[in-house]
Amino acid sequence: MIALHAGTAYTAVMANLTIRQLDEETKRKLRLRAAANGRSMEDETRTILRELLSVDRSAAGPRAPRPVGAAPAAMSGARPALASTPAALRRTVSGLAGASILLVIGGGVAAYKSLDLIRRLRERGAKVRVVMTKAAQEFVTPLSVGALTGGTVFTELFAREAEHDVGHIRLAREADLVIVAPATADRLAKMAAGIADDLAGAVLLATRAPVLLAPAMNPAMWSHPATQRSVATLAADGALFIGPNAGEMAESGEAGIGRMAEPLEILAAAEAILTPRDLPLAGRHVVVTSGPTHEPIDPVRYLANRSSGKQGHAIAAAAAAAGARVTLVAGPVAIPDPPGVEAIHVETAAEMLAAVERALPADIAIMAAAVADWRAATRAGEKIKKGSGAPPRLALAENPDILATVAHLKAGRPRLVVGFAAETSDLLVNATAKRRRKGADWILANDVSGGQGMGQDDNTVHLVTEAGVETWPTLPKEEVASLLVARLAAALGELKEAAE
Ligand code: CTP
């Protein structure tokens, strides 16, 4: 019942759908999306349909205004599909720590509470930028806000220095979450209409991050059908609401619904929005090794191999994107650390083993590094000179096997231990034997004869498990990584079910 388009736009058409009838490109996208979400293609299709139908429902008409007298400080509104918003995708670290929050302070008495909110957000490790509306500056000064954020407070849409330096589009794009507190009736109406005649309006229109609104206004204004129409429109657009609460108003003798939610409530809502819940590896710890190791011979020479780290880094990135906390132990590579992972840089096999042991416990260990099997038995303190005699003899000592060490741990063994087998002959026979010998649950075998696989962008792998061998098609390393992560998430789920 759907047509699948590039990206995340899906429109309804009338047709009976089976996956087989989809064109190749669409199938490829569906496979990727399913792998990234740890679902089968059929499940992914069902999820897309569900999302599509719920969007249609919420867009079908404005919600009834919330009745006066029954408004807890609960978060409400149509939850934006966090996994499909670019800002949420970009961010793989969970929670407030390290998150970029853009706080829009609107013009209301409750603006003073936003000062406390800034302090609390920063205490939890969030980076806070603040946009103040003109009216907000009647209640709190940019000076006091700036003192709390330790940075510039943005007030003007056309401030030359600010536009040059940051600019409203960057303000909008760099946020993981936008909070509007207090959100006045006027702001809600402007947002619902898409008005961008000030900096706050422009930023709110330009952002693709989730938007959390903390309304604050007089109860009569809140319950007015015009405000409730704005609320319904904004909720249908995907905005999230916290509050307003019921209670005494600033105006003496006035009570009802309209008090802004407390800073702690806003904080909890922000935390919940930024914590991915439905990702397949949420709450899991994954340790990945990647790249080669360098084994020094003297201060200038070392033993190494051709590993680029592309496959290991792609796996670390895919695990992080699937919601895991990822520790990447990387040998010397020329590629950047993937976003959202804790990267530990090492040089030698011994350092790699020590870093992996420090990183444990973990749910999954994926040993993708091409660890040098041998190191120089002794490491010369000075550069070895040519001299006049015969070439020096290089005595080697065997390095510890990190995969075998982790897989044979008696206590604290990760539930799934995965290794690679880079072979130049008898690929599957060698890989199957290697899996047993090293005690790994799975081995991804790849043929590296003639320089295949190493350093390249595509990889042809065979998944060797206790159940047998499964050959995957040649895929970009990112897709191999997504498939592996999806399989691991599913296997971990099955292990959990079996244990219950
Ligand atoms: N590995 C490891 N520590 C080592 C050597 C290898 O953790 N000292 C891991 C690699 O990360 C990979 C797997 O073991 O996951 C197999 O690596 P590979 O180089 O194919 O195997 P070797 O152990 O080197 O065996 P051989 O040289 O006999 O093929």
Ligand 1 closest atom vs CA 402 = 7
390 assigned to some structural domain: no
The Cα–Cα gap between 208 and 281 comes to 24
Does the beta carbon of 371 sit less than 6 angstroms from any atom of ligand 1? yes
> What pLDDT does residue 51 have?
62
Does the beta carbon of 322 sit less than 6 angstroms from any atom of ligand 1? no
219 and 170 housed in the same domain: yes
Distance from residue 430's CA to the centre of ligand 1 (Å): 12
118 assigned to some structural domain: yes
pLDDT surpassing 90 at residue 266: yes
Ligand 1 closest atom vs CA 373 = 8
The Cα–Cα gap between 365 and 419 comes to 8
Share of residues in the chain with pLDDT > 90 (%): 61
Does the beta carbon of 367 sit less than 6 angstroms from any atom of ligand 1? yes
For residues 292 and 332, the answer to whether their CB atoms sit within 8 Å is yes
Ligand 1 closest atom vs CA 398 = 8
Distance from residue 493's CA to the centre of ligand 1 (Å): 28
Distance from residue 435's CA to the centre of ligand 1 (Å): 10
> What pLDDT does residue 386 have?
87
More confident position, 64 or 405: 405
What are the structure tokens assigned to 277, written together? 């819940």
The Cα–Cα gap between 266 and 63 comes to 23
Specify which residues 241 forms β-bridges with.
76, 213
**Listed range (221-225, 313-317, 385-389) with the worst mean pLDDT:** 385-389
CATH code for the domain in which residue 193 is found: 3.40.50.1950
391 assigned to some structural domain: no
386 assigned to some structural domain: no
Residue type, 293: T
Mean pLDDT of 25-54: 65
149 and 203 housed in the same domain: yes
Q: Which residue has the tokens 């710890």?
A: 285
Distance from residue 125's CA to the centre of ligand 1 (Å): 39
Q: Which residue has the tokens 């895929």?
A: 475
Take atom 27 of ligand 1 and give the residue whose Cα is closest. 373
For residues 130 and 153, the answer to whether their CB atoms sit within 8 Å is yes
315 and 235 housed in the same domain: no
For residues 395 and 378, the answer to whether their CB atoms sit within 8 Å is yes
333 and 457 housed in the same domain: yes
Q: In the Cβ-directed half-sphere of 208, how many Cα atoms lie within 13 Å?
A: 13
Domain end: 274, 296, 317, which one?
A: 274
The Cα–Cα gap between 231 and 65 comes to 8
Strands 177-183 and 100-105, bridge-based pairing? parallel
What are the structure tokens assigned to 379, written together? 């490491």
Does the beta carbon of 216 sit less than 6 angstroms from any atom of ligand 1? no
Ligand 1 closest atom vs CA 443 = 15
382 assigned to some structural domain: no
> What pLDDT does residue 64 have?
32
Residue type, 412: G
Does the beta carbon of 417 sit less than 6 angstroms from any atom of ligand 1? no
The Cα–Cα gap between 55 and 57 comes to 5
Domain that holds residue 20: 2-58
141 and 247 housed in the same domain: yes
33 and 166 housed in the same domain: no
pLDDT band at 61; cut points 50, 70, 90: very low
Distance from residue 422's CA to the centre of ligand 1 (Å): 8
pLDDT surpassing 60 at residue 253: yes
pLDDT, tens only, 409-428: 999 999 999 999 989 899 99
Q: Which residues are catalytic?
A: 305
For residues 386 and 470, the answer to whether their CB atoms sit within 8 Å is no
Distance from residue 495's CA to the centre of ligand 1 (Å): 26
pLDDT surpassing 90 at residue 67: no
For residues 69 and 257, the answer to whether their CB atoms sit within 8 Å is yes
Angle at 292 between CA 289 and CA 298, to 5 degrees: 130
223 and 298 housed in the same domain: no
More confident position, 79 or 302: 302
Does the beta carbon of 288 sit less than 6 angstroms from any atom of ligand 1? no
If one counts the domains in the chain, the total is: 3
For residues 2 and 16, the answer to whether their CB atoms sit within 8 Å is no
The Cα–Cα gap between 183 and 71 comes to 16
Closest by CA to 366, choosing from 496, 474, 491, 494, is 491
Does the beta carbon of 295 sit less than 6 angstroms from any atom of ligand 1? no
For residues 118 and 148, the answer to whether their CB atoms sit within 8 Å is yes
Mean pLDDT of 466-472: 94
Mean pLDDT of 278-282: 86
Instruction: Measure CA 392 to chain center.
Output: 51
Beta strands in 226-296 (DSSP E): 240-242, 245-248, 255-259, 285-290, 295-296
> What pLDDT does residue 346 have?
98
pLDDT, tens only, 178-215: 999 999 999 999 999 999 999 999 999 999 999 999 99
Pocket test for ligand 1, best of 293, 307, 328, 371 (most atoms within 8 A of CB): 371
Does the beta carbon of 369 sit less than 6 angstroms from any atom of ligand 1? yes
DSSP string, 461-476: EEEEETTEEEEPPPEE
pLDDT surpassing 70 at residue 148: yes
242 and 326 housed in the same domain: no
> What pLDDT does residue 441 have?
98
Angle at 218 between CA 215 and CA 221, to 5 degrees: 85
Pocket test for ligand 1, best of 348, 399, 405, 420 (most atoms within 8 A of CB): 420
The Cα–Cα gap between 360 and 325 comes to 12
pLDDT surpassing 50 at residue 487: yes
pLDDT surpassing 60 at residue 309: yes
Does the beta carbon of 329 sit less than 6 angstroms from any atom of ligand 1? no
70 assigned to some structural domain: yes
Q: CB-based contacts of 367: which residues, under 8 Å, 6+ apart?
A: 288, 289, 402, 403, 406, 417, 418, 419, 420, 440
Take atom 12 of ligand 1 and give the residue whose Cα is closest. 420
Does the beta carbon of 405 sit less than 6 angstroms from any atom of ligand 1? no
CATH code for the domain in which residue 296 is found: 3.40.50.10300
196 and 234 housed in the same domain: yes
More confident position, 372 or 39: 372
115 and 223 housed in the same domain: yes
**Listed range (3-12, 29-38, 207-216, 348-357) with the worst mean pLDDT:** 3-12
309 and 189 housed in the same domain: no
Pocket test for ligand 1, best of 352, 356, 374, 402 (most atoms within 8 A of CB): 402
> What pLDDT does residue 278 have?
74
Take atom 18 of ligand 1 and give the residue whose Cα is closest. 421
Q: Which residue has the tokens 């999306």?
A: 33
Query: H or E stretch including 87?
Result: helix 86-90
Does the beta carbon of 266 sit less than 6 angstroms from any atom of ligand 1? no
Count of other CB atoms within 10 angstroms of residue 79: 15
For residues 289 and 356, the answer to whether their CB atoms sit within 8 Å is yes
24 and 139 housed in the same domain: no
DSSP 370: B
Angle at 38 between CA 37 and CA 42, to 5 degrees: 90
pLDDT band at 100; cut points 50, 70, 90: very high
Domain end: 33, 58, 83, which one?
A: 58
Mean pLDDT of 31-38: 62
383 assigned to some structural domain: no
280 assigned to some structural domain: no
Distance from residue 406's CA to the centre of ligand 1 (Å): 13
Domain end: 250, 274, 298, which one?
A: 274
**Listed range (216-220, 267-271, 323-327, 454-458) with the worst mean pLDDT:** 454-458
Considering the chain, what is the average pLDDT of its residues? 83
Residue type, 145: V
Distance from residue 169's CA to the centre of ligand 1 (Å): 48
Does the beta carbon of 403 sit less than 6 angstroms from any atom of ligand 1? yes
For residues 221 and 215, the answer to whether their CB atoms sit within 8 Å is no
pLDDT, tens only, 154-187: 988 776 555 545 577 888 889 999 999 999 999 9
> What pLDDT does residue 175 have?
94
